[in-house]
Amino acid sequence: MAEPVHTLIVEDEEQVRFFLREALKREGHLVAEVASGEQALDVLKDRSFDLAILDVVLSGQVDGFRVLEVIQERWPGTATIVLTAHGSFESAVQALRDGVDGYLLKPVRAAELRRAVEEVLEKRARHRDSAPTV
């Protein structure tokens, strides 16, 4: 049996968080969720995840891109998907340049979310498997 995927959802909209949580739980993920960037930074101090799904625009002082920076510095093995309602071609390109593994526009459908999650986790697994051993 495969290990469950530990997933962090960072989303300030309660309905979107609920949808993401339920869709991912149906796929066997162990889900932690927070409603702000500040809460995400607190959780990420001492806990790693296999996957993080980040809203870009969050209420409070810390946005999704700052959370992404912390994940990349502290937990570089974490796959990341940005979820935004304010997407554009330019923002998608910039997110990918910033090291995001996936980029989704709200509203997202369950099948689209599932496909993106599978793709980024497979990409991370291939990268991990091809990394030289020290």
pTM score = 0.90
Strand partners, 105: 84
pLDDT in 10s for each residue of the chain, 134 residues: 478 999 999 999 999 999 999 999 999 999 999 999 999 999 999 999 999 999 988 988 999 989 999 999 999 999 999 998 877 677 777 777 778 999 999 999 999 999 999 999 998 888 766 656 55
Q: How far apart are CA 53 and CA 119, in angstroms?
A: 13
Contacts of 37 (CB under 8 A, 6+ apart): 10, 58, 60, 61, 62, 63, 64, 66, 67
Q: How far apart are CA 120 and CA 116, in angstroms?
A: 6
What are the structural domains, with CATH classification, of the chain? 6-129 (3.40.50.2300)
